[in-house]
Amino acid sequence: MTDRYAVIGHPIEHSLSPRIHAAFARETGQALTYERILGDLEQFEEQVRAFFHQGGRGMNVTLPFKERAWDLVQERSPVAESAGAVNTLLPLPDGGLRGENTDGIGLVRDLRENHHFTFTGKQVLVLGAGGAARGILGPLLETGLDGLTIANRTVEKALALAEYFAAQGPVRSCGFEALAGERFDLILNATSAGLSGKVPQIPPCLNAGGWIYDLFYDCQEPTPFCRWGAAQGAAETIDGLGMLVEQAAESFFLWRGVRPSTRPVIAALRDS
């Protein structure tokens, strides 16, 4: 039987993951299937267990189930542990499940490998303190950056996150107003403001030659945050399509032990 993989989420019909993994499998000559599963808000855990019980070899988990997947697994990678969320599931030999989180690794790989961003010595600002922010902080703090600031509209949430990650690197937190007068080399948008066409209301704080990165993506047009970045004079404005493909590649590598090429897949998605 061909090895079976899937992505589970709710909604799921928009997911690009089947297309991405089909391209990886073609390129690396791996025989596998990868399907979409509409997650049931009540029965998510049972659906996952049934998938693996029926011989499934791996699963990606997307919104709104990443935290529930974290609770479900018997074993977690250190990155998944601190992310508080799991986006990749692997079966354990004893029948249990291992949870990984490849979102932050995918973000860092996109910036480094595809855009040649150097983190060493840089001041990085993360906007937002929800699940998306928490998922990227661990890998960001391992890059050798000089300082990481978490700013959130609700400052208490940023404080709590910074406290949680304090042992992992140079991290601090503040509200949006306190950013006035600060300067950052890279500003990442991990808020959900873009979903309603908005951008976080922050004072100008991008360094000359600084970059902005939106975790959200839009294949058709620049996201609101990318447009905001361009208006701020950002040297590069990048959306999260590359991160999406890189996090998928990391999952593929964990499952198959083979690293697929990502650039042709990013380019094909952008063109389509």
Closer to ligand ATR by Cβ: residue 123 or 152: 152
Does 192 help bind ligand ATR (rule: CB under 6 A)?
Answer: yes
43 is a site residue for ligand ATR (CB under 6 A)? no
User: Has 198 been annotated as catalytic?
Assistant: no
DSSP H helices in the chain: 17-28, 44-53, 66-72, 78-83, 103-109, 131-141, 155-165, 224-231, 241-256, 263-271
Residue 84 touches ligand ATR, criterion: CB under 6 A: no
Nearest to 254 by CA among 244, 263, 246, 264: 246
User: Cβ–Cβ contacts within 10 Å for residue 56, how many?
Assistant: 20
Report the nearest approach of ligand ATR to the CB of residue 63 (Å): 7
Which residue, 202 or 238, is less far from ligand ATR as judged by CB?
202
Cα distance between residue 160 and residue 168, in whole Å: 14
Residue 128 engages ligand ATR in binding (rule: CB under 6 A): yes
Number of residues that bind ligand ATR (CB under 6 A): 15
**Residue nearer to ligand ATR on the CB measure, 145 or 199:** 199
Residue count of the chain:
272
Residue from 3, 22, 30, 130 binding ligand ATR (CB under 6 A): 130
Site for ligand ATR, residues 141 to 180, rule: CB under 6 A: 152-154, 157
Residue of 270, 241, 268 whose CA lies nearest to 26 = 268
3-class DSSP state of 29? coil
Q: How far apart are CA 45 and CA 66, in angstroms?
A: 11
Q: Which of 22, 178, 193, 254 binds ligand ATR (CB under 6 A)?
A: 193
The interface with ligand ATR within residues 212-271 (CB under 6 A) comprises: none
Distance of alpha carbon 265 from alpha carbon 198, whole angstroms: 29
- Residue 121 burial by CB count (10 A; 0-12/13-18/19+): exposed, middle or buried? exposed
Region binding ligand ATR by CB under 6 A among candidate stretches 40-48, 126-134, 179-187, 263-271: 126-134
Q: Which helix (H) or strand (E) holds 79?
A: helix 78-83
Closer to ligand ATR by Cβ: residue 133 or 137: 133
Q: Which residue lies nearer to ligand ATR by CB, 20 or 199?
A: 199
SS3 state of residue 115: coil
Q: Is residue 132 at the binding interface for ligand ATR, with CB under 6 A as the rule?
A: yes
Catalog residues that contact ligand ATR under the rule CB under 6 A: 128-133, 152-154, 157, 191-193, 198, 200
Which residues form the catalytic set? Answer: 66
